[in-house]
Structure 1
Amino acid sequence: MKISQVEMVISAVKPEQYPDDGLPEFALAGRSNVGKSSFINKMLNRKSLARTSSKPGKTQTLNFYKINNELFFVDVPGYGYAKVSKKEREAWGKMIERYLTGRSVLKAVVLIVDLRHPPTGDDRMMYDFLKYYNIPTIVVATKADKIPKGKWDKHKKVVRETLEMDKEEPLILFSAETGVGVEETWAVIQKFM
């Protein structure tokens, strides 16, 4: 997909702030330090649209990125490592859950995991949550450049088995460094539009 226009429209915390364009939305979910910002920047061919940080848990709102006036990426707060209070985490959890279960224009969730390690308990919980609510899920395993190509299949197998993925569900290897997986991810996203 050729990206000609991208704008960060709003950082929302409640439904009345969500855009009402009716465009298809794709939520991006993943652990706090899994590389969501790098994924967004690579997919949208921008250097620093989404801010990367060495401190996990920087995203605390639902960030709506409008792409080519055709669709939205919605970056949701990362789960896991964020050094925030339990109360704040619970508030994020409610905000994310309300968005994921109540948004009619949400077409799929891109669940971002780290290819180098088996998915965590938090990854499994998120995946199970999405399955429970029948929310289409595209699993993207980042940091593929950090693993020799010959071991990709082995690592993919671990991801599939740990999450107990269905065979027909997409699992895409991705690298924000090399661009591996960009075209494939766009192709899968467009099938859901």
Structure 2
Amino acid sequence: MTQTRIDFRQTKFLISAPDIAHLDQHLPGDVGVEIAFAGRSNAGKSSALNALTEQKNLARTSKTPGRTQLINVFALDEHRRLVDLPGYGFAQVPLAMKQKWQHALGEYLQKRACLSGVVVLMDIRHPLKDLDMQMIEWAVASEIPVLALLTKADKLAQSAKMKTVNEVRKELAEFGDWVRVEPFSSLKGTGKPKVLAILDEWCHPEWLEQAEEPDGQA
């Protein structure tokens, strides 16, 4: 495990909810820090969360993409949470269900003030689809940092992997420091230390660091 201030192995499931209204009923308000994980339904979000937290069953994985239909919240500690958002862009679900997921996803991203960063997961073999770009563009426009995580990196040879990573970095260079691009493999652990370091950075915004000082003093 890489050295971070947060021990991600202590992550615990907190709640599942169909929308923000249900979240607000069970969480202590729109406070603290949340890091959202978003991506197409076959991007490997659940596998990535399990690998990063070193827990096999924290997030449920399925051989059938599109099973994540709820907003799933995991607690890092009393102030910090990871949020697994409904997968988007999977065609083989009823239109009404797809629209419901899209609404929940958009509502969360637009209205959640405590959102500190967004991890946009993409299969390294099929990066930067239209919905991925929309997610990245929205986050940057809202001044929310993005980690473009190229998953399933073990599926490519080293040369092909780095070629794709460099191409994606070039494509997203217009966003400057708002977007970082890293390869990742849940199976092999590729990129795990870098990803954990970024998540740890997002978990410690200056205002929260000050609030956690004794007597609230920096």
Q: Quick check: TM above 0.5?
A: yes
Deviation of residue 77 (structure 1)? Answer: 0.7
For normalisation by structure 1, the TM-score amounts to: 0.90
Secondary structure of the structure 2 residue equivalent to 1:166: helix
Contact map agreement 2:140 2:175 (CA 8 A) in 1: no
Structure 1 gaps of 5+ residues are: none
**Per-residue deviation, residues 148-168 of structure 1 (Å, max 9, x unmatched):** 222332111232344565343
2:208 corresponds in structure 1 to none
Residue equivalent to 1:113 = 122
- Equivalent residue for 1:172, pick from 175, 182, 187: 182
Deviations, residues 162-189 of structure 1 (Å, cap 9, x unaligned): 4565343311111101111111111112
- Between 1:167-176 and 1:58-67, the stretch displaced more is 167-176
Aligned positions of 1:20-39 closer than 5 A: 20=28, 22-39=31-48
Corresponding letter in the other structure for 1:86: L
- Identity of counterpart residues, as a percentage? 33
Q: Kindly state the Cα deviation for residue 16 of structure 1 after the two structures are TM-superposed.
A: 3.4
Unpaired runs of at least 5, structure 2: 205-218
Higher helix share goes to which structure? 2
Aligned counterpart, 2:192? 182
Structure with bigger gyration radius: 2
Judge conservation of contact 1:32–1:78 (CA < 8 Å) in 2.
yes
Cα distance change of structure 1 residues 4 and 175 upon mapping to structure 2, 3 Å threshold: closer
* Mapping 1:106-185, distance limit 5 Å: 106-163=115-172, 166-168=175-177, 169-185=179-195
Would you say how many aligned residue pairs link Structure 1 and Structure 2? Answer: 193
Give the superposed CA RMSD.
1.9
Distance 1:38 1:109, change over 3 A: same
Tell me if structure 2 keeps the 8 A contact 1:9–1:65: yes
CA contact (8 A) 1:118 1:162 kept: no
8 Å contact 2:36–2:117 — kept in the other structure? yes
- TM-score between the two structures when normalised by the length of structure 2: 0.80
